[in-house]
Structure 1
């Protein structure tokens, strides 16, 4: 594993060594000597692609699997990370700053937590001001180039059901924001009730941030997109291309723009990009042969999931199934499709197959004092 770590990640690791340990590392080989002399700084760009982390939809004493894209030529690219350090059952929500945002499944009121599967750190976030269940969650990473080990993000919670004054439940219109720098939640506005209903019932946790707006995909009747403009606390709705014909639809950010992936029943999977005037423009199709391989020849896109960031988009289903990856080729300015085998064996062990949520993150090996607060 150490021989496959990229230069800038090694430099970041070396920056946490004591002087005597750093001296030993520098004497190991010429490559490590050079790396130790160029220790990473907070402004160091991330030149390596993120890892794909496959987490169980619900975890309690299980494990997750991490795929290292630096060495994708063999099955040794997959690593198993135990999750037995999580004290409660959880569901993954999002990745930010090399950490994973989780939602508790052991308590009825909604609560978020955060963990680092590489350092086995875990921490609950404070409780919300308004007790609610099943809201939509959006996450924004602040200053992505900031030093690892420091929490620097905002989380937004919208919709959900709260307790009515006279008993029963109501659709909660208040929107709350958590800022990791002050470790508090605050109510920042409200939303139309009809939007709250759709975010509560028809929206998964995934969100995408692009150009000052948080977006969620909703699946009420036909697919549509809900947007929350943070600066103005205003809400908007966008249509989805051929929405009534899509078996799956997902949002990602690509090159700073909102991008939509969708698969049609018995047809192709296409990729659209949102342009001026909120007009969708198709920019790519999944190659037919790779699409059939991904679907097992069945021609059904139902159950497909997607995760992406600026330089990579991944289509996946479960842990053991293969993954379709569309990624930018470094220094060439073009995008290519790749096939990645599913996680069927790790160091001679065969992990059990299960439904997953995939996240993309850069491994964060720095212990955070805030995670243990």
Structure 2
């Protein structure tokens, strides 16, 4: 019976398989391989995978990265040979399994994307206005369509003049494969986004948010419908050791921690008021004490980490008991290499055949 099922039906069935099982299905026969390569893993049925990329301060080659499989609780080494050596990861386009990169070294921004599982890589077109070190934000419109926003940055120096802040916003649309100049922005926001933004962004209720890393922490928001900018305070923003924006069912959350290991999760409610919705247990908090804690989040998971070998605390949906309930769990670090600092990201592996964009 399975041999006679049409390819589109098989592809839909395979879309519910986790990536390791999908790979095994691809190796069964030619018919299954064709159907499986057309399938995209259903991200709503599987937790996101954590990817650890070495930072510029390590001696580990930057084309190597480690990925944690949350289903089998195993670490895997991937080789990103196609990614230029002077590239830094910004964020992920998580539902499509892509990592977004930018060049390092203060050169004009030229973004690129890579699928770490298939090795596919390509540069995005050049921006309309050359700029260095702008804030970069991603909106995933669907599993096959995304937009990238670039705000602020330093403009190129004119002949005989000095470089200045670029108070404009541009948007890249993956369907049209080009950049559109969206308009101007307040210089104050351009400055803050250029100097103090680590580039992680969250889209919620028509607003694209970035967090500035200067103490006290604050949040810059761009309202899509009105082309207006706004600024939000971060709860306990002047006392937190670390803070990060994370999405949750279309809402904006902040995960923040103090030096004593106390980690709290806030959610933005009506009239831009914050409310506490979760606190991490003291047991897990003690494992993070020591400084240098970082946080990254995606729909379906939040991870607090320091480096590749120290282990991580993950907050994610409890698939075993109640899919609407979240739980904290400890993930052992990778001991396959000497410990080193990392940039952590979340994504959902995509093993489908090359898309029209990539």
* Alignment-derived partner of residue 274 in structure 1: 268
Match of 1:49 in 2: 47
- The one-character-per-residue Cα deviations of 1:299-320 (angstroms, maximum 9, x if unpaired) are xxx4211111222111111111
Over residues 214-272 of structure 1, what are the superposed CA-to-partner deviations in whole Å (9 max), with x where a residue is unaligned?
Answer: 11111334111111112221110001111111111111001221010111233512111
CA-to-partner distance for each residue in 1:95-125, whole Å, 9 max, x for gaps?
1111111001267111101111111121111
- Offset from partner CA, 1:273-310 (integer Å, 9 cap, x none): 10011000011111111110222xx4xxx421111122
Normalising by structure 1, we get a TM-score of 0.82
Contact 1:109 1:132 (8 Å CA) reproduced:
yes
Match runs of 1:217-366 below 5 Å: 217-266=211-260, 268-295=262-289, 298=290, 302-330=291-319, 332=322, 333-344=324-335, 350-366=336-352
CA distance in structure 2 between the aligned counterparts of 1:191 and 1:116, rounded to whole angstroms: 32
Corresponding residue to 1:79 among 66, 76, 79 = 76
Is residue 31 of structure 2 the alignment partner of residue 22 of structure 1? yes
Rounded to whole Å, the distance in 2 between the matches of 1:335 and 1:355 is: 28
For 1:248 and 1:223, locate their aligned partners in 2 and report how far apart those are by CA, in whole Å. Answer: 9
- Inter-CA distance 53–192: structure 2 relative to 1 (3 Å threshold): same
Whole-Å Cα distance in 2 between the matches of residues 6 and 351 of structure 1? 33
- d(CA) in 2 for partners of 1:226, 1:343: 35
Check the 8 A contact 2:317/2:327 in 1, yes or no.
yes
After TM superposition, give the deviation of residue 321 of structure 1 in Å: 1.3
Q: CA deviation at 1:40?
A: 7.4
User: What displacement does 1:87 show?
Assistant: 3.0
Supply the distance in 1 between the matched residues of 2:330 and 2:43 (Cα, whole angstroms). 27
1:158 alignment counterpart? 151
1:7 partnered with 2:21 = no
**Does the 8 Å CA contact 1:11/1:39 hold for their aligned counterparts?**
no
Over 3 Å counting, the alpha-carbon distance change for 1:43 and 1:103 in structure 2 is closer
Q: Secondary structure at the match of 2:238?
A: helix
Change (3 A) 1:266 1:356: same
- Gap regions ≥5 residues in structure 2: 1-14
What is the RMSD computed on CA atoms of the aligned residues?
Answer: 2.7
Q: Which residue of 1 aligns with 2:5?
A: none
Counterparts of 1:39 and 1:172, CA distance in 2: 43
Alignment partner of 1:7: what SS? coil
Aligned partner of residue 142 in structure 2, secondary structure: coil
Deviation at 1:17, TM superposition (A): 7.9
Matches of 1:43 and 1:83, distance apart in 2: 22
Rounded to whole Å, the distance in 1 between the matches of 2:263 and 2:20 is: 38
Q: What is the CA–CA distance in structure 2 between the aligned matches of 1:93 and 1:84, rounded to whole Å?
A: 18
* 1:44 Cα deviation after fit: 5.1
Deviation at 1:189, TM superposition (A): 1.3
Alignment of 1:132-211 (within 5 A): 132-144=131-143, 146=144, 152-165=145-158, 166-211=160-205
Paired residues for 1:88-167 under 5 Å: 88-96=85-93, 97-105=96-104, 108-144=107-143, 146=144, 152-165=145-158, 166-167=160-161
Distance 1:14 1:325 in 2: 28
Q: Write the deviation string for residues 192-223 of structure 1: whole angstroms up to 9, x where unpaired.
A: 00111000111111111111111111133411
Gaps of 5+ in 1: 26-35, 147-151, 345-349
Q: For residues 125 and 354 of structure 1, do their structure 2 counterparts lie closer, same or farther at Cα, with a shift above 3 Å needed?
A: same
Relative to the length of structure 2, the TM-score reads 0.86
Conservation of the 8 A alpha-carbon contact between 2:99 and 2:114: yes
